[in-house]
Amino acid sequence: MILYCIYYCVRLFVAEETQEGIWQIGGYWSLEKRMKDIANMEAEWTTLLANFPDEAELQTLKGLAKKLRENAYALDRSLRSQPMHYYALLHGDCKAANIFLASLDGTDEVTQGGRVGDEEQVLKKSRKESMAGAIDWQWCGWGLGMQDVVYLISTSSSLQVLEKEEREKFVSKKYILSLRENLCQRLCDGPCKEGHAIDVLEQFSEDRLQLQFRVALCDYTRFLVGSMWGKVTPSSIEKVRLDRNVGMHKRNLNHLLWLARNSNLYLSEFERKVTGTHRKVAKALSLSLQLASMAGQIARDVTQEKTLGTVNKTGDDEKALDPQTKADRDSEQLILNVLSACLPDVEVIGEEGYEPNQADGEKQKSTLNEHLVAPWEVDLDDLAQSDTQGSGTDDEITVWIDPLDGTREYVEGTRECVTVLIGIAVNGQAVAGVINQPFIGAEGRTLWGGLGMGVWETYGTCWERATPLQRHQQSPQKEEERRLIVATTRSHPGPKVEEGLKKLPVDEVVRVGGAGGKVALILDGKVDAWIFPQKGMRRPLL
């Protein structure tokens, strides 16, 4: 019965055991495990539609596969960037066939789950710890409890339960209520007390848990569209109709329709506030991630050539050394060309001042994914309103490029702090940015993020394996034991910098080149602040 299984999911969530040898991300359908499915999603969905030409509702959802593909990375990140206290142990294959229930009459008899209903008489009994147990833990790992709940009702619940969920959030609300009750009892080590109940209500809000349910459902449907549903036909449904080890979405077309319909609805809800500006910022950030990584590869490749192609942008004045290398030139041209071709009405400004070659950009853009970031991920609500009302025109969005920050260090061979920088602004306010570190790791490291979506870390080009960068805080110490570590310039020292440092209770000064390198040190928790008390910039804007 579905309530037994739901309460079993709750017990898993509140379990405090430390588990070893499990998946970092639970479940076999997570994006990083199913990347090969992404390219096939539209073709698989088209095959399913062709298999059921007379199903009118299914035919109205022709665009679902495209929407799921374009949102795949964003859905995955949303599942992996919730507050830490929402994460727990997932079974990873939590279907009724893997859950065994004790009999209702109190005997020792155990029965296999199978397809389950919504009988209310199990409410009290199902809270007993002995009522359910599970087998087949090969996909056990960490995740949001709602991921097991979504998988359970998608594979194992009756159509009546799905309809009740659609009308009144029946299953998800039962899970939330039981979760809160169990967490409260654990905090109190007994009956729930009022103060602890308030804490649990605040920490596990129904709105956030319901959002997790919707995201998890869309994410699971993404897997089904790309991997399973292209094989579903009327004859295949009849063949497995009574096979309890097969998910209900492959045994009954109405179950499949329920998942597809609600995924389409939820995706539309996510995009309810999306404007043209959101779309262009998301596209610019998606492209910038990949272009910064490509520029990082150029920086590494140039170091393998006989010469770096270095020139001094200030001419023969050695006292005013401002080096530029082949890596600076090639990287800026690449980024400028592609962004100008893909976003022709967005202003793109590079440090080296080159003009874009849109023809070259057109050739290169076909290899890039414009949907690594979804428009609904970027929060622009607090920005000042523009005259264009969010249409995303050229005087509203600006992309700034520093193709090789820390060029002097690059030339001198001190390359750990060298970075590629791309910033995105709306109405003059920074909204998103990318820092690529070409010489951290074998294929470089990218730190990136935007308003409302936090900061992420990616090694190489495995964007599906991006991990949220945790905020670093010093461990609690006595006041006299705390240390203040600051970063400052290596290449541009001066009296004002040294005077500023002397005025602060600094315990250690780290002198590194490049703005991006210093920001990376802060994000990594290696320094507490970047001190540079200089007025203005080295050169005026054009």
328 labelled catalytic: yes
Say if strands 419-426 and 397-405 run parallel, antiparallel, or are unpaired.
Answer: antiparallel
37 labelled catalytic: no
In the set 37, 76, 328, 330, the catalytic residue is 328
279 neighbors 185 (Cβ within 8 angstroms): no
pLDDT in tens, 506-528: 999 999 989 999 999 999 999 99
Q: Residue 459 pairs with which residues in a beta bridge?
A: 445
Query: What does the angle CA 302 – CA 307 – CA 308 come to, to the nearest 5 degrees?
Result: 50
On the question of pLDDT at 388 being above 50, the answer is no
According to the model, what pLDDT value does residue 150 have? 96
According to the model, what pLDDT value does residue 536 have? 54
Confidence of residue 533 (pLDDT cuts 50, 70, 90): confident
Name which residue leads in pLDDT, 350 or 540: 350
- Calpha distance 422→332 (Å, rounded): 10
pLDDT in tens, 300-317: 999 999 999 999 887 766
Say if strands 132-134 and 467-468 run parallel, antiparallel, or are unpaired.
Answer: unpaired
According to the model, what pLDDT value does residue 480 have? 60
On the question of pLDDT at 472 being above 80, the answer is no
According to the model, what pLDDT value does residue 121 have? 41
- Residues of the chain with pLDDT > 70: what percent? 84
Average pLDDT over residues 323-352: 95
On the question of pLDDT at 195 being above 90, the answer is no
Complete DSSP assignment for 357-418: -HHHHHHHHTTS-TTSS-GGGS--TTSPPPTTTT---TTTEEEEEEEEETHHHHHHT--TT-
On the question of pLDDT at 348 being above 60, the answer is yes
On the question of pLDDT at 286 being above 80, the answer is yes
According to the model, what pLDDT value does residue 542 have? 44
Complete DSSP assignment for 159-192: HHHHHHHHHH-HHHHHHHHHHHHHHHHHHHTSSP
Domains of the chain: 2-270 (3.90.1200), 276-468 (3.30.540.10), 479-530 (3.40.190.80)
Average pLDDT over residues 198-218: 87
According to the model, what pLDDT value does residue 193 have? 55
The mean-pLDDT minimum among 127-131, 141-145, 266-270, 479-483 falls in 127-131
Average pLDDT over residues 365-390: 81
pLDDT in tens, 402-425: 999 999 999 999 999 999 999 999
According to the model, what pLDDT value does residue 1 have? 62
Confidence of residue 15 (pLDDT cuts 50, 70, 90): confident
Query: What does the angle CA 447 – CA 449 – CA 451 come to, to the nearest 5 degrees?
Result: 155
Q: Residue 487 pairs with which residues in a beta bridge?
A: 510, 530
Average pLDDT over residues 389-410: 81
Confidence of residue 181 (pLDDT cuts 50, 70, 90): confident
Confidence of residue 75 (pLDDT cuts 50, 70, 90): very high
pLDDT in tens, 433-465: 999 999 999 999 999 999 999 999 999 999 999
Instruction: Report the mean per-residue pLDDT for the chain.
Output: 87
- CA distances for 151 relative to 37, 148, 217, 351, 530, angstroms: 19, 5, 8, 50, 46
According to the model, what pLDDT value does residue 109 have? 42
Q: Residue 455 corresponds to which tokens in the numbers above? A: 């900061």
In the set 221, 325, 407, 446, the catalytic residue is 407
**Alpha carbon distance, N-terminus to C-terminus of the chain:** 69
**Phi, psi (degrees; rounded to nearest 5) at 488:** -150, 180
Confidence of residue 389 (pLDDT cuts 50, 70, 90): very low
